[in-house]
Amino acid sequence: MKKISILFLLLGAQLAFSQASTKEKTPEQPSALDSVVSPLLETDIPAEFPGGMTALRGHISSEFDHSRLNGSGKLKSVTKFLIHADGSMNSISTIGDDPSMNKEMTRVIKRIKTKWKPAMRNGQPIKTWYEIPMSISI
């Protein structure tokens, strides 16, 4: 019984004498991407590849080289890039299960030289992010 009493006494003392530090929250600095990402949520008309999704799929399938892939099974990736108000694109990045698939998707998207029809908000073209999910079974 003495041991339990001492244990409670030590725990109680620790709680009584412990110091709680409070950090003042500093306001977060807006990042450079905040101005880029926010138009994505407020677009009236999303960005579109000339010829629509069918033309984009056709471009990807004609440029995609399956022999460059190292993985097997079902491979997935998502390619994300920025479409500017003038229809040009940059900031291409791909994430996914297989590095060789990611590299190939980035290569294929970089080969697109056609300008996109930009996203519109209030009748004005704006820059916005565009994502292309991709999955292949090998």
For residue 21, with 0-12 CB atoms within 10 Å meaning exposed, 13-18 middle and 19 or more buried, which class applies?
A: exposed
| Residue indicated by tokens 């990807």 | 60
pLDDT of 132 > 80? The answer is yes
| Residue indicated by tokens 């001492």 | 6
pLDDT band at 133 (very low <50, low <70, confident <90, very high): very high
Global model pTM greater than 0.85:
no
**pLDDT tens digits along 7-46:** 555 555 565 555 555 555 444 444 444 444 444 445 688 9
8 Å CB contact between 127 and 85 = yes
8 Å CB contact between 130 and 109 = no
8 Å CB contact between 50 and 114 = yes
Alpha-carbon span 99 to 21, nearest angstrom: 44
With CA atoms as reference, report the closest residue to 85 among 112, 115, 118, 114.
118
Percent of the chain at pLDDT above 70?
A: 69
* CA distances (Å), origin 108, targets 26, 66, 77, 82, 101: 42, 12, 13, 15, 11
